[in-house]
Structure 1
């Protein structure tokens, strides 16, 4: 079980809940703080004007709400903002959103009754996910629309996904004996007014981006291996004089992957040989193409970008991100803009640009393997059949190229795409949830691209019949992939096996780790 609210929730904790189905628990000490915070707000709000408790919302905050309508105000907020459109978020992203909202509320600065966090815990642990739409909030004043649909389910309305079926929330709650939330003071605003949609999606993006980076380092090493590249471009000596952590981590990783390989060459054994000095034209390339030789310089910044994103988004996950902040320790209520999603939005934009570059590197390495005029080692399109009659990997290249092109278009930043709305009350916004969702699309695309690259690599290995010369790590991966993608000679449709390879890469961690 993973405790929520007592200690900092880490990326690994988050991953365990999302991908390993670990349950969450609410420590009694943390729950007691939530209770005290709620009781303070009840007492403090008497005979005071406090935004969102006895006023309207946004530009209508100038209107006071009468005592008898205070609870209805919260219900009105939830129902009126349940106005999303487009596709429903995948259940894994909804669960991530719920964990993020729960962790924020458990910081005990939101003035909510413990009923809210206990109900959220129950839904998370039972894998009951609200039906939440992709399109909605603008990422300032929080992910209002997405979180409104969460609120709608908490009060027993709307729809949920449970055991792969859509259910009426009211009917499912009745069947499972779950009591809907009853509003006490400001639970509606506290549920809606935060960055939890973009943050939850962002955390999943970072987990998947780390996998992508590991696989990209693995496939870059394998590509260098099967073309018998020289080892100095990922050597310690070359990379250590460039003072970037990411570059040196990638170089170290490539050395580990290729440990024991009989295909990687040392420059001193070949080009430095005395017999070469009098040659006018060298048969061997003196230096490899950039997509092989500059892997550490290309993937290094991507490593650093993912690391930065993890730090920032994890900070947001463990932050209080609603308004106002109910501070029982200082006996005050502070109004401001902690719901603003700029931190997450900017990191998601940086992350999607980095992952787009990763997909571009994969596409260039793929093209190198498929173009016999470049590699001078494999038949065109790594065709193991009859040239002209068979087509090898020719068809899948189109898919990889078009998918990378889409990534490049999607890489326009959302962070600078503010559109004022809400009667200009929200006059500069983050578009953070949009940024996180587009980043997810880029990540999904990139798994498809690197899957095609891996399929091509194992076909090339079979052409060379070099299995016994591979490093132990690359040989092991070759064997694993051949279980789901057998060697082919005669042409056949590839779309089903492409999907199998993509899913394998998405759900499995690469056999390397970048953890310090």
Structure 2
């Protein structure tokens, strides 16, 4: 059981989402929420409070009679449950719910504690509301996506449960869950925040971190395949540039290759004084950029992921509601904490660097497939009869096509504001769109990486390097060779590529724990 108190850590999301840990809110959280609810109820009796006794958005100029205040909340939820497109995957919905639960638990929203109890049950029982990808503009919060969450909490709408889409009311009855009752402003409090974009963003970061390690893994393995010189990964060279990400990537690659018998020391070759007297060196003096500049290319990816992770955790532990209920100061503040620009910008940055990562994978793939470049492998790493068989030729088209799609998708959503809501929302973040598109870019990058990984497996089969490979490469190859059949005769590769993609998404590149650099990597 994971006990949630004040600050929700990134690791908590990982444990709940990927390890299926159950959550339990502290008594202190419930007391804080109850105090916020009781204060707002008393404070609003003789005051005009947005969303409590007024209409919403440009309709806020209309005073709502006391007898209609609860109906107002139900109307808001039902009217805004208008999303379209594909349903969000349950994993992302669960992340969204955990993010919203944590925000409401801060006691700044004025909701009744029963809201938290019901949300906790949904998370622990893996009951995920049907929420659609299209709808949110990320300004007055993720109104559309969160309305579908609120719809389920009041016992309406649909949920995904045990792999099936079912009416929420039926599942609630089956699991003995009571729908929430609107007490004061539960509708607006549930909907008015950044929890959809943040929840999607947190899953994006988890997959991006894993993807980065697979990119480092592939880059290190290719250095072994081509028997590259190792000084481009040296601490001395990379410490001379002061970016932590570059230093960390170089450190991880050095650690990967520490016991490899394939990478070469320049001192033993080009610095030895023993070189031919002719004017042309057959072997390259320096590797291509896609091999030599990996720390400089993936370093910004590392730094961006780290920054995005920090911003998202700040957001999820923030009160991203309006108005903000401040029990300590006995006041209610109106503003715009629901605006999603922080998350939107980070999602745009994240998809940019993941697209660059997929471009690096595509270039490394091209190097392996082009025999005129690598001069060690058959064309398209074709282990069959040249001309009759095609090897990885068809799969390269998929990698190139998917990389091109990532390049197109990397256009910014953060600067694509469109005024709406009768110009009340005259500048918006498009944060949910940014997060959803970033999800697609990350998934695409795994597809490109899967093509590269199958090619690496085939290349190592051809080269018979097993006794010389690093432990890190050899360990994963033992697993991947069971997933990727040895083929000389051409086979349909789609099922193989899909299995490799799923393996990479579900497993760490370095299962023994090579995820953090030591002091050597951070000077």
Q: TM-score range by the shorter chain?
A: over 0.9
Partner of 2:521: none
Structure 2 counterpart of 1:514: 516
1:34 equivalent in structure 2: 33
1:442 maps to what in 2? 441
Normalised TM-score (structure 1): 0.99
1:451-505 deviations in whole A, cap 9, x for unaligned?
1101101110111111111001111011110111121111100111111000000
Residues 1:2 and 2:2 aligned together: yes
Q: Secondary structure at the residue paired with 2:325?
A: strand
Whole-Å separation in 1 of the counterparts to 2:170 and 2:478: 49
Residue 210 of structure 1, CA deviation: 0.2
Q: 1:409 aligns to what? A: 408
* Cα distance in structure 1, aligned partners of 2:225 and 2:258: 14
Structure 2 Cα separation of the partners of residues 275 and 18 of structure 1 = 57
The Cα shift of 1:169 comes to 1.0
Match of 1:243 in 2: 242
Q: Deviations over 1:373-398 (max 9, x none)?
A: 00001000011111101111111100
Q: Which residue pairs with 2:342 in the alignment?
A: 343
Instruction: Write the distance in 1 (CA, Å) between the matches of 2:175 and 2:220.
Output: 51
User: What's the CA shift string for 1:239-264, capped at 9, x where partnerless?
Assistant: 11001000000000000000110100
Instruction: Report the equivalent of 1:216.
Output: 215
Unaligned runs of 5+ in 1: none
Cα distance in 2 for partners of 1:382, 1:335 equals: 63
5 Å matches for 1:286-301?
286-301=285-300
CA distance in 2: counterparts of 1:100 and 1:281, whole angstroms:
61
What is the CA–CA distance in structure 1 between the aligned matches of 2:300 and 2:117, rounded to whole Å? 41
**2:301 alignment partner in structure 1:** 302
In 1: Cα distance, 2:105 partner to 2:438 partner: 28
Q: Secondary structure at the match of 1:86?
A: strand
SS of match in other structure, 2:515: coil
| Residue number in structure 2 paired with 1:195 | 194
User: What is the distance in 1 between the residues matched to 2:148 and 2:408?
Assistant: 30
Aligned to 2:329: 330
* Equivalences for residues 312-327 of structure 1 within 5 A: 312-327=311-326
How far, CA to CA, are the matches of 1:185 and 1:356 in structure 2? Answer: 45
Measure how far apart 1:15 and its partner are.
0.7
Tell me, yes or no, if structure 1 residue 121 matches structure 2 residue 123. no
Aligned-pair distance for 1:277? 5.9
Q: Deviations over 1:284-336 (max 9, x none)?
A: 10010000000000000100000000000110011110100011110000000
SS in 1 for 2:61: coil
Give the secondary structure class of the aligned counterpart of 2:262. coil
2:344–2:413: 8 Å Cα contact kept in structure 1?
Answer: yes
Give 1:174 shift: 1.6
Give the CA RMSD over aligned residues.
Answer: 0.8
Q: How far 1:273 moved relative to its partner?
A: 2.5
Distance 2:148 2:476 in 1: 43
Q: What is the SS of the residue equivalent to 2:467?
A: helix
Asked if the contact 2:457/2:484 (under 8 Å) is kept, the reply is no
2:385 counterpart residue number: 386
**1:12 lines up with 2:14 in the alignment:** no
Instruction: State the distance in 2 between where 1:139 and 1:114 align.
Output: 26
Q: Are 2:100 and 1:101 aligned?
A: yes
| Aligned residue pair count | 515
What whole-Å deviation, never above 9, does each CA across 1:207-256 have from its counterpart, x for those lacking one?
00000100001100101111000000011011110010000000000000
SS of the aligned residue for 1:110 comes to coil
In structure 2, distance between residues paired with 1:205 and 1:16: 15
How many Å apart are 1:134 and its aligned residue? 0.4
Inter-partner Cα distance in structure 2 for 1:290 and 1:406: 23
Counterpart of 2:363 in structure 1 is 364
1:384-420 CA-to-partner distances (Å, cap 9, x unmatched) read 1111011111111000000000000000010000000
1:178 aligned counterpart, secondary structure: coil
**Following the alignment from structure 1 to structure 2, what is the Cα–Cα distance between the partners of residues 381 and 494?**
14
Aligned structure 1 segments of 4 or more residues deviating by more than 6 angstroms: none
Deviation at 1:3, TM superposition (A): 2.2
Q: Distance in 2 between matches of 1:362 and 1:12?
A: 28
> In 2, are the aligned partners of 1:11 and 1:207 still within 8 Å (CA)?
no
Partners of 1:31 and 1:509 in 2: CA distance = 37
- Residue 252 of structure 2 contacts residue 517 of structure 2 at CA under 8 Å; is this kept in 1? no
How far did residue 278 of structure 1 move? Answer: 2.3
Aligned to 1:269: 268
Any conservation in 1 of the 2:139–2:340 contact (CA below 8 Å)?
A: yes
Decide whether the 8 Å contact of 1:131 with 1:159 is kept in 2. Answer: yes
The whole-number CA distance in structure 1 between the counterparts of 2:457 and 2:129 is 42
Measured in 1, the distance between the counterparts of 2:276 and 2:385 equals: 40
- Conserved in 2, the CA contact under 8 Å of 1:228 and 1:263? yes
Secondary structure of 2:274 counterpart: helix
* 2:47 corresponds to: 48
Give the Å deviation of 1:59. 0.4
Partner-residue secondary structure (3-state), 1:134: strand
Q: Equivalent residue for 1:21? A: 20
Corresponding residue number in structure 2 for 1:182: 181
Equivalent pair of 2:251/2:517 in contact (CA under 8 Å): no
Native 8 Å contact 2:248 2:517 kept in 1? no
C-alpha distance after superposition, 1:116-142 (max 9, x if no partner)? 011000000000000001001100000
TM-score, normalised by the number of residues in structure 2:
0.98
SS in 2 for 1:13: helix
- Mapped partners of 2:323, 2:250: distance in 1: 47
